[in-house]
Amino acid sequence: MSVFDSAFDETVTSWVLVYFTDSDPGKEFEIIPRTRISVQDNVELRPRLRVKVFYGKAKLEAYVVRESGDYYYLKENFKSLASQYTQDMVLNSIFVYDAEFQQKWECSLAEIEEVQVPAANGTMVLDPAVILEQYNTLKVRFDDLYRVQNEMRSTIVVLVERVQALTEKCERNEKNKETKDDTKDKTETKDKADTKDKTDDKKDDKKTEKTPKPKEKEVEEVEEEEDDDDMVYIGENRTPIPKDVYQTINWNSCSAATRKLLMAVFSKDILATHSLTGKPSPAFLNANKETKKKLDATKTSDIIDIVTRRCRVPATAVRNAITTKCADENKMCKKRKLRHSQ
């Protein structure tokens, strides 16, 4: 966990420490201006409030840790605030606030008004009976919310277990199907090759027997299998990936698979100085910041293609993962430059 001085801007009046859910380990927390958060001005940024943060042209999901007008307070207490939030997040991993829940809760609190009755001396005092009734009403609402939370927790645990079981079953079925298809294709290819060899031998006995394998190469290209140079070629543009890296990719996680492929195709310097689109972010049009170059479109297209197919996710999820990875590498690059300059 770290914080970067290069993010400080004297014109900003409110800063927010946020937690990004899809960032690499150790890069989840960041101090950003409130203006980069997509939320109404009248909504209070309470801890664990789920928000959308502008990152380039993308909107990344994040959770509020702490808001403050003092940037250096957040910087000095960065590690303690992040550690405390991590502990709270583990204890409350199912039930989190969002803007809609917060507005409903504030409306409920606004309904409770101080009820005054005239006293003997003509002054106005609070009626204890009315206050007690309002307190009991609020307590019942809170108990209902707590009960709903526990029901949601149990339901979500059951659903997660079912999804995991179905995912494992689908993976087993897919592997079995791929194995059967491979066996069938290889058998057909071998039969055709043997037939062709016999025909050639009859025409010219002096020729050496050869077993052509053009069909096997076509199958390998479609299924992204390794070639003779220990590389795997993905997508229509046949972007090369080292076989040992490709075999360790976790296809159960869209973000993890995308980051693995990006690191195999691009260097850290390229990821730090380039972006998916190469266009300036709308949030920084007036900041006089240098526009990043665009990543090789053929390679990013192949990465998006294979991740959407293997992880079964929409292309927007892969693009967001690419944007997040470039942002993380950019922060790490700035940190390295600051360390070397000291």
Q: What is the pLDDT of residues 32-54, one digit of tens each?
A: 999 899 887 777 888 888 899 98
When pLDDT is averaged across residues 291-298 and rounded to a whole number, the result is 89
Query: Residue 3 — very low, low, confident or very high, per pLDDT cuts 50/70/90?
Result: very low
Convert the pLDDT of each residue in 204-224 to its tens digit: 554 434 434 444 333 333 445
Query: Residue 254 — very low, low, confident or very high, per pLDDT cuts 50/70/90?
Result: very high
Q: Tell me the percentage of the chain whose pLDDT exceeds 70.
A: 69
Question: Are residues 326 and 276 in contact, defined by beta-carbon separation less than 8 angstroms?
Answer: yes
CA 318/CA 324 separation, integer angstroms: 10
Residue written as token pair 């207490």: 77
> What tokens does 153 get?
């927790």
Confidence (pLDDT) at 288: 63
Confidence (pLDDT) at 127: 60
Question: Are residues 85 and 65 in contact, defined by beta-carbon separation less than 8 angstroms?
Answer: yes
Confidence (pLDDT) at 194: 65
> What tokens does 190 get?
């071998």
The amino acid present at 22, given as its one-letter code, is: D
Convert the pLDDT of each residue in 153-196 to its tens digit: 767 777 877 887 888 888 888 888 777 777 776 676 766 666 66
Q: What is the dihedral of CA 137, 143, 146, 150, to 10 degrees?
A: -140
Confidence (pLDDT) at 85: 85
The amino acid present at 321, given as its one-letter code, is: A
The total of other beta-carbon atoms located within 10 Å of residue 258's CB is 27
**CA dihedral over 72, 76, 78, 84, signed as positive or negative:** negative
From the list 188, 228, 229, 195, the residue with the least C-alpha distance to 211 is: 195
Query: How is 251-287 classified by DSSP, letter by letter?
Result: TT-HHHHHHHHHHHHS-HHHHHHEESS-PPPGGGTTT
Average pLDDT, the chain: 76
Confidence (pLDDT) at 249: 93
269 or 98, which is more confident: 269
Question: Are residues 79 and 1 in contact, defined by beta-carbon separation less than 8 angstroms?
Answer: yes
From the list 69, 64, 34, the residue with the least C-alpha distance to 47 is: 64
> What tokens does 149 get?
């939370």
Confidence (pLDDT) at 321: 93
CA 81/CA 65 separation, integer angstroms: 7
CA 36/CA 32 separation, integer angstroms: 7
Q: What is the pTM of this model?
A: 0.39
Confidence (pLDDT) at 211: 39
Radius of gyration of the chain (CA): 29
CA 218/CA 230 separation, integer angstroms: 17
Tell me the CA distances in angstroms from 53 to 35, 42, 95, one per residue in order. Answer: 9, 17, 21
The total of other beta-carbon atoms located within 10 Å of residue 84's CB is 14
Has residue 94 got a pLDDT over 50? no
When pLDDT is averaged across residues 6-21 and rounded to a whole number, the result is 80
Side-chain half-sphere exposure of 59, counting CA atoms within 13 A: 6
Has residue 26 got a pLDDT over 90? no
Residue written as token pair 């069909």: 215
Convert the pLDDT of each residue in 283-292 to its tens digit: 555 556 677 8
Confidence (pLDDT) at 209: 41
Question: Are residues 264 and 242 in contact, defined by beta-carbon separation less than 8 angstroms?
Answer: yes
φ, ψ of residue 126 to 5 degrees: the values are -80, 140
Confidence (pLDDT) at 118: 52
